[in-house]
Amino acid sequence: MKLGYYPGCSLKGGSREYKESVVAVCRKFDIHLVEVPDWNCCGATAAHNMNKELSLALPARILAQAESAGLDEIVVPCAACYNRLKVTQHEMAHQPELAEKVKAILGMEYKGSTSILNIIQLIEKYILPNLDDHYYRPFNYKAACYYGCLLVRPHSILQFDRAEDPQTMDEAIRKIGGTPVDWEFKVECCGAGMSVSRTDLVAKLTGKVVENALYRKAEVIIVACPMCHSNLDMRRPDVNKYLGVETTIPVLYITQAIGLAVGIDEKTLGLQRHFVPVHLPERNEIVDMPAELVTTQGKEE
């Protein structure tokens, strides 16, 4: 099947390993990603603080380009990009006067008809129902599923999972044989774009996330956001300094965890690009899908 795909700036730059794992997992499940043509930056977490109309025009142009290319549904792996596209689509639909101003800036047709999926919705809709056809080995680790703030808020607009205790990523980890831990920081902010301007604040915020994951005996932190990964992984020296202890818990994208479970090799998934080394026990045996994990979808006639 073909599915529209908006990589955004991060997946083309500092989060290259995220793109590699997304593409590899989709390929494994026969999903052909069609990149939105001539896409631009979504404005990220800064544009809407500078200029309201421009902050909507940037994501609106992306959606208009997708519509023009006949892409009825697109996956947006970056949580920040997903948030900006969904919020823009909502505001354009509910504020007609503002929408007309933005359309004038665009100079192109915009309908707002494209369906937008975050990476977890893609997994839930297209990956998990077919997991038993590709299952290779269990991802047998205790995982702290970290959603961050932009994937679930504002709930009234995104309408994705529960704002305080989301479970969709946890369920995906269960499906591949892992054990999601019950912990307190799954939707707390990592500091996001302050990674450069206020590294001290990022170290404190992210340090509390790492600390709580370790307190709950997690062996790995699972994310679905390039900014969260960057702050948890690249900023680990600052986090360790804040905590006063060396922490080595690795941070994996949800697509990397699924990729390992369906037999994709570590290099293809980009694990070698992480700053915190990903040391997970090798499992060479091929196993049958555990009975409790086998999906019943399509089995009952």
Res. 14: pLDDT tops 60: yes
Cis peptide before 154 (omega within 30 of 0): yes
| Band of pLDDT at residue 281, cut at 50, 70 and 90 | low
Task: Find, among 137, 188, 143, the residue nearest to 165 by Cα.
Answer: 188
User: What pTM was estimated for this model as a whole?
Assistant: 0.91
Q: Both tokens of residue 276? A: 């915190």
| Segment 22-56, tens digit of pLDDT | 999 999 999 999 999 999 999 886 666 678 899 99
Residue type, 122: L
pLDDT recorded at residue 142 = 95
Looking at CATH, the fold of the domain delimited by 2-120 is given as Glutathione S-transferase Yfyf (Class Pi); Chain A, domain 2 (1.20.1050)
What is the pLDDT, as a whole number, of residue 258? Answer: 98
- Report, as an integer, the average pLDDT of 265-289: 77
**Are residues 176 and 259 in contact, defined by beta-carbon separation less than 8 angstroms?**
no
pLDDT of res. 287: 39
pLDDT of 294 higher than 60: no
pLDDT of residue 290: 41
Of the listed ranges 43-57, 63-77, 207-221, the least confidently predicted one is 43-57
Level-2 CATH architecture, domain 136-273: 3-Layer(aba) Sandwich (3.40)
Mean pLDDT for the stretch of residues 90-115: 96
Cis peptide before 166 (omega within 30 of 0): no
d(CA 5, CA 236): 30
pLDDT at res. 192: 78
Residue 286 pLDDT class (50, 70, 90 cuts) = very low
- Provide the residue type at 100 as one letter: E
Mean pLDDT for 9-30 is 96
Residue span(s) of the chain under CATH 1.20.1050.140 come to 2-120
Calpha distance 263→157 (Å, rounded): 36
Of residues 211 and 281, more confidence is placed in 211
| Helices and strands in the chain: count of H runs, count of E runs | 13, 8
**Which of the four pLDDT bands, split at 50, 70 and 90, describes residue 279?**
confident
Identify the band that residue 293 occupies on the pLDDT scale cut at 50, 70 and 90.
very low
57, 105 Cβ separation under 8 angstroms: yes
| Residue 296, pLDDT above cutoff 60 | no
Indicate if the pLDDT at residue 79 is higher than 90.
yes
pLDDT for the residue numbered 194 = 73
Query: Can you read off the two tokens belonging to residue 15?
Result: 């989060």
Q: Which residues of the chain are in CATH 3.40.50.11810 domains?
A: 136-273
For the cut 50, the answer to whether the pLDDT of residue 262 exceeds it is yes
Give the model confidence (pLDDT) of 157-207 as tens digits.
Answer: 999 999 999 999 999 999 999 999 999 999 999 987 776 668 889 999 999
Taking Cα atoms as reference points, which of 269, 297, 283 lies closest to residue 16?
Answer: 269
Cα of 153 vs its chain's centroid, Å: 14
How much is the pLDDT for 284? 45
- Whether 229 shows a pLDDT value over 80: the answer reads yes
Asked whether the predicted pLDDT for residue 209 surpasses 90, the reply is: yes
